[in-house]
Amino acid sequence: MKKILILSANPKNTSNLRLDEEVREIKNTLQLSANRNEFQIITESAVRVDDLTRFLSQHQPTIVHFSGHGSGTDGLVLEDNSGRMQLVSTQALAKLFDLFQEQVECVLLNACYSKEQATAIHQYIDCVVGMNQAIGDKAAINFSIGFYTALWAGRNYEDCFQMGCTSIDLQAIPEYLTPEIKFRRRRYQTEQPTNPVKSNNDNNMSNDNKGAQNRAVSIGSIGRDFGGAIQTGDSNTANINFQSVSLPAPASVNIETELNALREIVAKLESSDRRKIDNAFEDAQDELKKPQPDKDEVGNALERALKYAQKAEGFASVIAKLRPHLTNTTAWLGENWHKLLSLVSLTI
């Protein structure tokens, strides 16, 4: 039996959402399904930050569904002990799901601007759905109806995602491009989805439902610092002498070849983070299969893989092999990713 844990939070100092209606609709779709005995829905409301670990440990869910407010880079909105808003950071959420990656198959974040949290959690969980902009109550509820109707019918997670987006579109709601899926096929299936729904971060459609609240909370932005120097495993020698390097022309780089070479070199390291390294490289390579790959997505995944690899014993011994391939890769990624060179003690 698959357990679906639905977590919801609507703090008293945030706009009121129709979260109870969403839960009711999900339960109704299950009751109408011939496969209803194969699933169990568990609901927890007014969720506090301290509740997260307890609920995941207690219920051992296959799917974790969050309904509530999001605030973009600042995280998801839960409740404190007085019922008021308390943020849980993107980094903390990712670390939490790292602890439950053997158990949880899918995470659905039905909250505004939750794409960043979905991307972070996807380091550890093979299927994560987030929202790339604001989403109103009506669209969020219809997405859930479509997603779970497909799930109860035995469809895979990609099909469930597409059904959720289609359910929004069928209601003539312009937010059908707002949900975005991060999916790794390795574990659950190998077939390609048919007629996939693609998200579009640049669309200019308004997603405000008149007469209904959206699931966003505006918080002051928090800056990020991406600086760093090489850190090696316990038995390695850390020698931070940066060497200058010239980058080739981006058009001359075969990025698939370079990523394969980087992955092959790193694969020879003994690492307790092997699964995380493999997941990161697969994310980068999945992005490259798209007609117009997002270079920042590739860069983020590669940076994640190499930072895990840095912790492995023997990393210092492969730096020389990594340098030419990372130099070429950095040239292809562009100037926003020159920081990757510092991971192997190079500089422009």
Kindly state whether residues 93 and 172 are assigned to the same domain.
Answer: yes
Q: What is the pTM of this model?
A: 0.61
- Whole-angstrom distance, CA of residue 206 vs CA of residue 210: 11
In a domain, 76, yes or no: yes
How many domains would you assign to the chain?
Answer: 2
Alpha carbon 231 to its chain centroid, in Å, reads 26
Structural domain for 156, as ranges: 2-183
Token digits of residue 215: 């699931």
In a domain, 213, yes or no: no
Kindly state whether residues 171 and 299 are assigned to the same domain.
Answer: no
In a domain, 283, yes or no: yes
In a domain, 136, yes or no: yes
In a domain, 320, yes or no: yes
Kindly state whether residues 51 and 128 are assigned to the same domain.
Answer: yes
**What is residue 5's predicted lDDT score, i.e. its pLDDT?**
98
Residue 73 sits at φ, ψ, to 5 deg, of: -65, -20
Residue-wise pLDDT tens digits, 183-224: 987 544 444 444 444 444 444 444 444 446 776 665 543 222
Token digits of residue 104: 């949880």
Kindly state whether residues 253 and 174 are assigned to the same domain.
Answer: no
Convert the chain into a string of H (helix), E (strand) and C (coil): CEEEEEEEECCCCCCCCCHHHHHHHHHHHHHCCCCHHHEEEEEECCCECCHHHHHHHHHCCCEEEEEECECHHHCEEEECCCCCEEEECHHHHHHHHHCCCCCCCEEEEECCCCHHHHHHHCCCCCEEEEECCCCEHHHHHHHHHHHHHHHHCCCCHHHHHHHHHHHHHHCCCHHHHCEEEEECCCCCCCCCCCCCCCCCCCCCCCCCCCCCCECECCCCCCCCCCCCCCCCCCCCCCCCCCEECCCCCHHHCCHHHHHHHHHHHHCCCECCCHHHHHHHHHHHHHHHCCCCCCHHHHHHHHHHHHHHHHCCECHHHHHHHHHHHHHHHHHHHCHHHHHHHHHHCEEC
Kindly state whether residues 134 and 253 are assigned to the same domain.
Answer: no
**What is residue 346's predicted lDDT score, i.e. its pLDDT?**
80
> pLDDT under 70 in the chain at which residues?
186-212, 215-242
Query: In this structure, what CATH number is given to the domain that contains residue 48?
Result: 3.40.50.1460
The angle, 0 to 180 degrees and rounded to 10, between the axes of the packed helices 315-333 and 255-266 is 160
Residue-wise pLDDT tens digits, 58-93: 999 999 999 999 989 889 999 999 999 999 999 999
